[in-house]
Chain A
Amino acid sequence: MGPSIVIVDDHPAIVDGVRAWCAAAEPPIRVLAAGASPGVALAGTGAEADVVVFDLQLDGAPAFRALTTLADAGRRVVVYSQHADSDTALRCLELGAATYLTKAEGPEHLIPAVQAVVDDLPYTPPVLGGAMAADRHPDRPVLSEREREVLLAWFESDSKQLVAQRFHLSAKTVDTYINRVRIKYADVGRPATTKAALVARALQDGLIDLAGL
């Protein structure tokens, strides 16, 4: 049986669009519930879903508190937002979101993101990668020059193939660089079970070792 999601979004057109992508996914992703309030993901059938697809922009202001509640409940949250600014994206990661997508990235990246997140694997869409590459906040992880260059190239091109070609790397190595940065971000700031799961899985897969953290 494929993974399941619950959609928290107050735009019916978005909910319908995500439903359609889920139905077309291979294997199909089941949409257990959908609604305009975070409560739909915390009780009833929605509470059973593997992943919460979460619109940050509920009732106007970014719903950071609802996101924190979901993360504290141990839910894997894919933030799906029309906000494209870096601060919002990085703050969501800080609060425990599994990943952050802008609505413009949905058609290409939402389904792969859900599929990765279900397995506690990191997923960094290009705009989030750009936010990490340009991030200079002192509290944030220190990236190697190569990691930063690969992330920036991923942001610029939205194509791991082009990135690999440019730096003469394999697509898998490009993935490793991008994912390693995501794990570094999971390891800083406020603790959350979702972050712990991400780090644990990365250690298990050999993506990083304890010395790399």
Chain B
Amino acid sequence: MRDSQDLSTQDLSTQLLRGMRIAQTVIVLVILVGLNVPNLLANLGGYRVPWAGIASLGVFFVLAGIDAVLVARHRLWGRARWPVAVFLLVVTLGASLALHPAELSGPAHVTLGSAGWIAVLLFTGASLRGLLAVLGAHLLIVLGLLLATGRSDQVTLVAFATTAVAVTSFQLAVGLAGSALRAVAVQAAAAAEESARTVTADAVAAAVHTDREARYAELRAVALPLLRGIGDGTRSPADPEVQRAAALGAARLRRMFAEERDAADPLAAELATLIDIAERRGVEVHYSERGSRAIPPPDVCQGLLDEVGAGLLGAERTARVTLSGVERAVVLSVVSDAAEGRVVPGERTRADGSTVTTVVGGGRTWVEARWAPRS
């Protein structure tokens, strides 16, 4: 649940941030190409090691390129964010060290302005605090270098502060906008989650209500005629036929209210209930299960159980019950010593497609109900 929520929040914020990120990419590329490259080429002489200046700008291009690919793929920097940020700081430190100290606050120091933009790209979609930390660390490093090289005169420091405030405020503004968008996304995701939860709860309530109504309908069909008959005296509780109908009805009610309705194998679970009822009536039941079976639809299960249930609950002393999965068929069978008079031997097909075979002989009644899924 948490995972999916986090995921949906992330998806949503990634989508919302996308427009923003495309704009950022354009800004960074314009700054790198339009401002930094000409500045660097014009001021290569400011570097003690010129290739270091070129290499550091090259790294910025590579990072901006990777970010563009991530934007296109709807992805954020994720776990790579902090290691890359540290790498970025190391590169900028290297570029600054490669400069003549006099150029630290001059136009040759191209990484001073653009490192922050790369950090903005890295921290899009993440906490604002991370971005602040990296921007701050970057400025502190440069300030440290200025002081270490003895350039603590007021003019230099003011020039540095002006550059830092001008550049960093732009970067912070963009970072803040991203952060605000992300907060909106989190709220939107929570709202979507909440609305989905409400819809699910409504659907569950409706399903429970329908199920309950179906159970009561079944109750009316099974139990009420029998009870009414006994009540008005048209049916006698002493009549074996009425007793069997009552036992079948009781079995069905028990199945209806049983927890096993939701069992992995409802047919086996409901069959166990039927066997239990027969055993309570003193019938010795031998039960055996073979093979792997498909799970028939609920109405077919009910049909199969009704067919063999009459034989099982009509048993006097013994019954043999088997449940098999053979080829693709589900086969439920009861052999009992139920009185022979009540059943018609032969084979018939039910409306649900299952076939029922009844064999009577040697004082035993054998009812087999078989169903196979249509291929």
Contacts and interface: CB of A to CB of B under 8 A. Distances in A.
B322 A162 contact: no
A148 B327 contact: yes
A134 B326 CA distance: 5
Contacts of B335: 156-159, 162
A88 interface: no
A76 to B, nearest CB: 25
B333 interface: yes
B150 interface: no
Given A84-B288, A156-B335, A161 B324 contact: no
Contacts of B322: 130, 155-156
Interface residues of B, number: 21
B364 interface: yes
Which of A131, A134, A159, A165 has the most chain B CB atoms closer than 10 A to its own CB?
Answer: A134
A113 interface: no
Contact of A155 (B324, B327, B361, B362): B324
Interface string B278-297: 00000000101011100000
B283 to A, nearest CB: 15
Interface string B38-74: 0000000000000000000000000000000000000
Interface in B321-367: 322, 324-327, 331, 333, 335, 357, 359, 361-362, 364, 366
A165 B333 contact: no
Contacts of A130: 288, 290-291, 322, 324
Nearest to A149: B326
Contacts of A104: 286
A79 interface: no
Contacts of B75: none
- Where chain A touches its partner, the secondary structure class is helix
B307 interface: no
Nearest to A161: B362
B100 interface: no
A190 interface: no
Contacts of A133: 290-291, 324, 326
Given A134-B291, A162-B361, A165-B359, A157 B320 contact: yes
A41 interface: no
B270 interface: no
Interface string A123-146: 000110011011110000000000
A162 B364 contact: yes
Contacts of A156: 320, 322, 324, 331, 333, 335, 366, 368
Contacts of A126: 288
A147 B326 CA distance: 12
Given A158-B335, A166-B366, A134 B288 contact: no
B320 to A, nearest CB: 6
Contacts of A162: 335, 359, 361-362, 364, 366
B362 A159 contact: yes
Contacts of A166: 357, 359, 366
Contacts of A136: 291-292
Interface of A: 84, 86, 104, 126-127, 130-131, 133-136, 148, 152-153, 155-159, 161-162, 165-166
